Structure 1
Amino acid sequence: MSRIEELPDDFDESLNLNELPVNEAPPVAPQDQLHSGFDLFAASNETPFPINEERLKAAKTDPSAPDMPPAMASVKSHTSAELLDLMNKTPLFMTDIDKAGDENGENPMLDALTALQNEGTRGDVAQSFKEQGNEAVQEKRWIDAKEMYTKALAVIAAKEDNWEKPEDLAVEKKLVLQMEELSHINRALCNLELGNYRACILDCAAALKLNPKNVKAYYRSSMALLKLERLDEAEDAAKRGLVIDSENKSLQIAASKISERKAAVERIAARKKAEAELLRKQNLVLSTALRAREIRTRKTDQPPEMEDARIRLVPDPLSPESSVEFPAVFLYPMDAQSDFIKSFSELHCIADHLDYMFPLPWDTKNEYTIPNVECFMQTVSGGLIKAGKKLPLLQILTGGKVEVVDQMVRIFIVPSGKTGAFIAEMKARKTG
């Protein structure tokens, strides 16, 4: 038995319909309904499909075996393709209405159901679909419920009038308007539960056009707008609903949720704004510090991925008196190897880092030692300069001969015996 027959205007939105009353059986799943249909045929000795007696006799290998129950025989005596065709002619299993008729294109059972669907006035039929939608809502079958409400609205909007003529036109008109409003507002609930938030808002707007005091429409549209992060509109919808019914619990909860979300969004926006302003000030101070040191920098269209590594002022990024630190990469071009240094202070020299890096794990010939390597950097024009291993990085970068590209200092480390080959290769690459 259903817990409620309709979805009245004061329907409690917070009601947990997943909890069934005591002694009430859970709803039957669609696949269980399918099996139940055959069980009913078996219990009543009726057959869902005509029995092919000849094929049934041919399939019976043991003459002494008992006959199959009629329902089972009607299934076993047909091939899979035949069963699919027969099922499509049965309204319970129908999937393609164009193939539902017999050789003359007729289907008496389908015609009978269609006649039942058109039984009554337009308002009666729309109400029937609406009530079927309500039953589906009570079982949380949102897709089925949405379909029923859509059918109710289709009946109301249909240009052809295939229904019975009402005895009282005024009563019929009132019923049709009522069913249109209820179908829109109930379909809005389905769309809200299914995550179709824009469709929910449209249904609520349609309901409010018919009845500007429909509190449910304000509630459901406010919740859909909240989901879409359209917070000002959501707040407005909730306020309009509360003007009509200031004691409505659902609207009060909705207004509270919207207010909390707006406050959270405002806090996030304020924090992001403060972070952006801090970063702007830090970049301004850093840019001033680099210009004062005559250090050239350049960005390319495809900078390397360095996570959070970047040029920065330490210890205070807002003080021009802080020292500058650079991400750096030591390149070993003669062996196709490299080492990344996240923070290379302008006060340190190349030898300071080579001291803890050497010996290199892949240097089996022991070619890389501090006394036995030379260091080079590329100039702005693409040439090379020799970088002193014991000079502070600031002294190497100052003056504008070299530039820091994409916030990274690049230093070539070459064994002394191979510097000639390295220089020749770099010149060939430049001219090529």
Structure 2
Amino acid sequence: MSQENPNIGNLSLNNAPASQNEAADQFVESVSAAIPPGMQRNQQMSADEILKEMNRVPLFMTSLDETDGDGGDNTMLEAIKALAYEGTKAEVAENFRQQGNEAAREKLWKDAREFYTKGIQALRGQVKTTEAEDDPSLKVVELDEEAETKKERSIEEACLSNRALCNLEMKNYGSCNRDCAAALSINPRNLKAWYRAASACLALDKLPEALDACASGLQFDASNAALRSLQTSIEARRDHLAGVEASRREREERVRSEAATLKKALRERGVVVRETASPPEMEDARIQLEDPSEAGSEVRFPVLFLYPLHAQTDFIKAVGEAESVGQHLEYILPLPWDEKGEYRVEDVECYMETSSGGLIKVGKKLPLIKSLASGKVEVVDGLVRVFVVPKARAAEWIEEFKKRRGKQ
């Protein structure tokens, strides 16, 4: 066995002499005294409390915490925010412009717009900047007022033009145009402002204004490719809309002409028509001419066959004026719900209501136009109504019809 080295061993405070325990206590006290008070406080905090505390330090922030944890201001954050407004108006505005440019490169349009707005506000004195004269201990630097003013106008122009881009991308076209107008009031030769104003007008289909903006920009640079390309797009849109408008006017004129021709055709045939406030839904069915432009061509009518004794109907979209109701009853009858076999062509009678509220019998072989042109019938809401009843029950139904109409 190897001999133990008397100089190496384990320190046991419990078994050590009193003098050794006192030395250890002094060592712990000296170490504790060397730890800064802030770190001693952190040793007594939980992990969640430490993370919350770190979030108040701008370098480690994952969310904005503007307090010091005790209801006061976060002095570190306030100091950093104050730096943003340190310097002359031009320097502050330029700082915001650069931040706006960085956000715009990332297509963070809302953030970029905010930075440009702050830059504009700084130039217009709408935010406080820290000037040298506010602090007597700072050295006052004499500025060339003319050069400074020129610099400020240049930065303001850039902020306005760039904010116009943000508004354009965010589809705030009115705001875009206002920013462009403000930028152009500073520098009428700002081609980007003319381009963005034209783009906003195009998006709003304000084509004359869009073309005017392009022309205004091109007068300063006739070969500008972006403006020329946009001008071509605007002209194409103008031509397209002109074509759509011409087609609409042509269609409306055709509808008016066809309506006048149909009205003439019905008048010449002696057909009386009347419209009510609640016409029935007939989809595309309507009174129409075979040739809409020729009053002498065949007129076709939507016809509704009603079976009032059984509360049933059949709808025919187009019945020619020379056709008879019997021709259509030939393929409609017999009816699937007619269990008693009462509805056969030879066993039914047809009626139309007169304009005075009475009834007129319709010959099953008579051309439809003969019944409509009798002077007693009117076509209501473009629909011809024909009542079909079994002969054996016709008198019964007529009496009931008169009672409902108050004829007895």
TM-score range, shorter chain: 0.7 to 0.9
Q: Please, which of 292, 312, 320 is the counterpart of residue 317 of structure 1? A: 292
**1:127 aligned partner, one-letter code:** E
Moved over 6 A (4+): 85-91
The DSSP-based 3-state class of the residue aligned with 1:353 is helix
- 2:310 and 2:42 map into 1 onto residues whose CA distance is 83
Asked if residue 94 in structure 1 is aligned to residue 70 in structure 2, the reply is: no
Alignment-derived partner of residue 136 in structure 1: 103
Alignment-derived partner of residue 116 in structure 2: 149
- 2:68 and 2:309 map into 1 onto residues whose CA distance is 82
- 2:213 and 2:240 map into 1 onto residues whose CA distance is 19
Q: Structure 1 319/126 Cα, relative in aligned 2: closer, same or farther at 3 Å? A: same
Alignment-derived partner of residue 74 in structure 1: 48
Taking the TM superposition and a 5 Å limit, the aligned residue runs for 1:219-230 are 219-230=195-206
Asked if residue 127 in structure 1 is aligned to residue 94 in structure 2, the reply is: yes
Q: Please, which of 324, 329, 335 is the counterpart of residue 349 of structure 1? A: 324
Alignment-derived partner of residue 344 in structure 2: 369
Alignment-derived partner of residue 231 in structure 2: 255
Q: Please, which of 361, 376, 383 is the counterpart of residue 401 of structure 1? A: 376
Alignment-derived partner of residue 298 in structure 1: 274
Q: Structure 1 92/177 Cα, relative in aligned 2: closer, same or farther at 3 Å? A: farther
Asked if residue 186 in structure 1 is aligned to residue 145 in structure 2, the reply is: no
2:305 touches 2:385 (CA, 8 Å); kept in 1?
yes
> 1:322: how far off?
0.4
**2:149 aligned partner, one-letter code:** K
Larger C-alpha radius of gyration, 1 or 2? 2
> 1:289: how far off?
1.0
Asked if residue 201 in structure 1 is aligned to residue 177 in structure 2, the reply is: yes
1:175-199 deviations in whole A, cap 9, x for unaligned?
2212221111111112222222222
- 2:42 and 2:277 map into 1 onto residues whose CA distance is 75
> 1:102: how far off?
4.4
Asked if residue 410 in structure 1 is aligned to residue 385 in structure 2, the reply is: yes
**1:208 aligned partner, one-letter code:** L
- 2:152 and 2:265 map into 1 onto residues whose CA distance is 76
Q: Structure 1 162/398 Cα, relative in aligned 2: closer, same or farther at 3 Å? A: same
Query: How large is the RMSD of aligned CA atoms in angstroms?
Result: 2.9
Q: Structure 1 156/307 Cα, relative in aligned 2: closer, same or farther at 3 Å? A: farther
Alignment-derived partner of residue 380 in structure 1: 355
- 1:374 and 1:88 map into 2 onto residues whose CA distance is 95
Alignment-derived partner of residue 332 in structure 1: 307
**1:412 aligned partner, one-letter code:** F
- 2:403 and 2:151 map into 1 onto residues whose CA distance is 90
> 1:52: how far off?
9.6
**1:135 aligned partner, one-letter code:** E
- 2:124 and 2:359 map into 1 onto residues whose CA distance is 81
Q: Structure 1 387/251 Cα, relative in aligned 2: closer, same or farther at 3 Å? A: same
Q: Structure 1 294/53 Cα, relative in aligned 2: closer, same or farther at 3 Å? A: farther
Q: TM-score normalised to the size of structure 2?
A: 0.79
**1:388 aligned partner, one-letter code:** G
The DSSP-based 3-state class of the residue aligned with 2:306 is strand
Of the structure 1 ranges 277-286 and 288-297, higher mean CA displacement relative to structure 2 is found in 277-286
Alignment-derived partner of residue 130 in structure 2: 163
1:131-175 deviations in whole A, cap 9, x for unaligned?
111112212222222222222223233445333257423333222
- 1:182 and 1:251 map into 2 onto residues whose CA distance is 19
The DSSP-based 3-state class of the residue aligned with 1:252 is helix
- 1:195 and 1:129 map into 2 onto residues whose CA distance is 23
Asked if residue 358 in structure 1 is aligned to residue 333 in structure 2, the reply is: yes
Structure 2: state its 5+ residue gaps. Answer: 1-40, 133-140
Q: Structure 1 156/298 Cα, relative in aligned 2: closer, same or farther at 3 Å? A: farther
> 1:220: how far off?
1.1
The DSSP-based 3-state class of the residue aligned with 1:213 is coil
1:122 touches 1:163 (CA, 8 Å); kept in 2?
no
Q: TM-score normalised to the size of structure 1?
A: 0.75
Asked if residue 280 in structure 1 is aligned to residue 239 in structure 2, the reply is: no
2:305 touches 2:387 (CA, 8 Å); kept in 1?
yes
Alignment-derived partner of residue 3 in structure 2: none
**2:161 aligned partner, one-letter code:** I
